[in-house]
């Protein structure tokens, strides 16, 4: 099977450098018309210049593709709406959105300012919300949409000095989980990418010999897997250094305690059974947890009759 984006329109945020640039170039190479978004700021979100996005557009057009640049700050909904209007005015549809834009303001939680926490949340979470909201009705009306959220192992598992970044990246998984349910009837699929790549976000953190192995192209192969015609839905794909895996949120089967035994002492006493992973599974939605507990309660009542 060939993964193609022929005649599709894709928006990639933070596409002036690093992963976003790699995503945009490969989408264009595979036939997509690409909106190259980049605010042009530094890693901490300060500054701003459109040159990086224009350079990527030039690379795409020189290779025979179609692309336009837009310097929207994804944390500003009005700017995002203007970017989507430009895409619609130019090409009349939006098929793919890759929410890639991000910043870092790393510090231990005790030393981190509230402003630094909010700024990272605004760019990663509200930036993804703003861009998704701006294309959502378009995708609903055309009964087609592919959206990729960029999460992180820092959100899945934690990373020292990244409480703001980790919280933001976990929030995107929750956003995906609900949008999958709401977009299903209109053929909108939403997935999360957890990348490991050598970008300007990570170049100061790793030894040079390791940094060279962390190619953006290896992550882009995963990103495009999540947004083509036959893409999966509700998947957290981890990609980097040529490695690919899937992260899952699962819940143990758990136990039921009758009312007289619903005490902290009994929970502690039964902790081995509660945490037993033998029959753990992914749940389709939040209500499934309540259904499971109710079924256990009903089974207990039936056993007492």
Catalytically active residues are 165
Q: Which helix (DSSP H) or strand (DSSP E) does residue 134 occupy?
A: helix 127-142
CB–CB of 270/255 below 8 Å?
A: yes
- Token pair listed for 39: 């605010």
| Cβ-based neighbours of 248, under 8 Å, separated by 6 or more | 236, 282
Q: Which residues contact 25 (CB under 8 A, 6 or more apart)?
A: 56, 59, 60
CA dihedral of residues 67, 91, 123, 101 (deg, nearest 10): -30
Whether 183 and 139 have beta carbons less than 8 Å apart is answered as yes
CA separation for the pair 75, 28 (Å, rounded) = 25
Encoded tokens for 155: 């959100």
Query: Strand, helix or coil at 132?
Result: helix
- Where b means 16+ CB within 10 Å and e means fewer, 229-243 reads eebeebbbbbbbeee
Distance CA 42, CA 80 (A): 19
What's the longest Cα–Cα distance across the chain? 77
């Amino acid at each position: 099977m060939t993964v193609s984006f022929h005649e599709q329109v894709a928006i990639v945020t933070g596409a002036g450098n690093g992963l976003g640039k790699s995503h945009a170039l490969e989408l264009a190479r595979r036939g997509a018309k690409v909106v190259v978004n980049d605010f042009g700021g530094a890693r901490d979100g300060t500054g701003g210049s459109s040159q990086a996005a224009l350079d990527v557009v030039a690379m795409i057009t020189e290779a025979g593709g179609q692309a336009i640049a837009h310097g929207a700050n994804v944390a500003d909904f009005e700017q995002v709406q203007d970017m989507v209007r430009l895409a619609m005015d130019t090409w009349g549809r939006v098929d793919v959105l890759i929410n890639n834009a991000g910043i870092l303001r790393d510090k231990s939680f005790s030393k981190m300012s509230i402003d630094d926490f909010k700024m990272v949340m605004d760019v990663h979470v509200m930036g993804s919300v703003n861009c998704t909201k701006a294309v959502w009705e378009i995708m609903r009306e055309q009964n087609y949409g592919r959206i990729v959220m960029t999460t992180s192992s820092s959100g899945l598992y934690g990373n020292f000095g990244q409480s703001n970044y980790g919280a933001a990246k976990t929030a995107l998984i929750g956003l995906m989980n609900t949008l999958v349910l709401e977009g299903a009837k209109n053929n909108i699929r939403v997935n999360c990418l957890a990348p490991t790549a050598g970008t300007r976000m990570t170049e100061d953190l790793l030894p040079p010999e390791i940094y060279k192995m962390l190619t953006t192209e290896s992550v882009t192969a995963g990103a495009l897997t999540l947004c083509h015609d036959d893409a999966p839905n509700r998947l957290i794909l981890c990609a980097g250094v040529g490695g690919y895996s899937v992260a899952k949120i699962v819940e143990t089967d758990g136990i039921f305690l009758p009312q007289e035994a619903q005490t902290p002492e009994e929970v502690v006493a039964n902790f081995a059974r509660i945490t037993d992973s033998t029959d753990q599974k992914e749940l389709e939605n939040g209500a499934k947890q309540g259904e499971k507990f109710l079924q256990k309660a009903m089974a207990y009542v039936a056993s007492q009759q």
